[in-house]
Chain A
Amino acid sequence: MKEIICIVCPRGCQLTVDEANGYAVTGNGCPRGAAYGKSELQNPTRVLTSTVRLTGAALRRLPVKTDRAIPKGKLREAMALLDTVVAHAPVTEGQVLVADLLGTGANLVATREIPAE
Chain B
Amino acid sequence: MYDLIVLGGGPAGLAAACRAWQEGVRRILLVERDDALGGILNQCIHNGFGLHRFSEELTGPEYAGRYIRMLGQTGVEVRLATMALQILPGQDGAPHEVHTLSPTHGYEVLQTRAIVLAMGCRERTRGAIALPGERPAGIFTAGAAQRYLNIEGYLVGRRVVILGSGDIGLIMARRMTLEGAKVLACVEVMPYSGGLTRNIVQCLQDYDIPLYLSHTVTDIKGHDRLEQVTVSQVDANRRPIPGTEMVFDCDTLLLSVGLIPENELTRQAGIEMDRRTHGAVVSEAMQTSVPGIFACGNVLHVHDLVDYVSAESERAGAAAAAYLQGNPSASLPSLRLDNGAGIAYTVPQRLHPGIGEAQVFFRVNRVTGPAAVVAENDAGETSRFRRLRFAPGEMERITLPANLVATAKEHITLRLEEGSV
Contact = CB atoms under 8 A, between A and B. Distances in A.
A16 interface: no
B22 to A, nearest CB: 23
B196 interface: yes
Interface string A50-82: 110100001111011100000010011001000
Nearest to B45: A63
Contacts of B202: 7, 46
B45 A51 contact: yes
A4 B197 CA distance: 11
B196 A49 contact: no
B201 interface: yes
B151 interface: yes
Interface string B383-421: 000000000001000000000000000000000000000
B341 interface: no
A1 B60 CA distance: 36
A100 interface: no
A63 B152 contact: no
Interface in B181-227: 196-198, 200-202, 206
Interface in B34-73: 35, 42, 45-48, 51, 57, 59-62, 65
Interface in A1-33: 4-10, 12
Contacts of A8: 198
B196 A10 contact: yes
B9 to A, nearest CB: 15
Contact of B198 (A12, A58, A60, A65): A12
Interface residues of A, number: 30
B179 A79 contact: yes
A59 B59 contact: no
Nearest to B46: A49
A47 B153 contact: no
A111 interface: yes
A5 B198 contact: yes
B305 interface: yes
A50 B155 CA distance: 13
A112 interface: yes
Contacts, number: 76
Interface range for B: 20 to 34
B236 interface: no
Contacts of B45: 49-51, 63-65, 111
Residue in A9, A53, A76 whose Cβ sees the most chain B Cβ within 10 Å: A9
A12 B197 contact: yes
A63 B198 contact: no
Contact of B62 (A5, A10, A72, A93): A93
Given A63-B59, A112-B42, A51 B150 contact: yes
B61 A111 contact: yes
B65 A112 contact: yes
A49 B198 contact: no
B274 interface: no
Given A46-B206, A79-B179, A111-B62, A10 B48 contact: yes
B139 to A, nearest CB: 23
Contacts of B151: 59-61
Contact of B152 (A10, A46, A60, A64): A60
A76 B174 CA distance: 12
B304 interface: yes
Nearest to A58: B35
Given A47-B47, A93-B65, A111-B61, A75 B178 contact: yes
B398 to A, nearest CB: 16
Interface in B1-56: 35, 42, 45-48, 51
Given A10-B304, A111-B59, A111-B62, A5 B206 contact: no
B137 to A, nearest CB: 22
Contacts of B59: 49, 63, 65, 111
Contacts of B305: 10
Nearest to A110: B61
Closest 4 CB pairs of A and B: A12-B197, A112-B61, A63-B45, A7-B198
Interface of A: 4-10, 12, 46-51, 53, 58-61, 63-65, 72, 75-76, 79, 93, 111-113
Interface of B: 35, 42, 45-48, 51, 57, 59-62, 65, 149-153, 178-179, 196-198, 200-202, 206, 304-305, 394
Given A61-B150, A93-B61, A93-B62, 4 more contacts: A47-B47, A59-B151, A111-B59, A112-B42
27 contacts: A4-B201, A5-B198, A5-B200, A6-B198, A7-B201, A10-B51, A10-B304, A10-B394, A12-B197, A12-B201, A47-B47, A48-B178, A49-B47, A51-B150, A60-B153, A61-B152, A61-B153, A63-B45, A63-B61, A65-B47, A75-B178, A76-B178, A79-B179, A111-B59, A111-B65, A112-B42, A112-B65
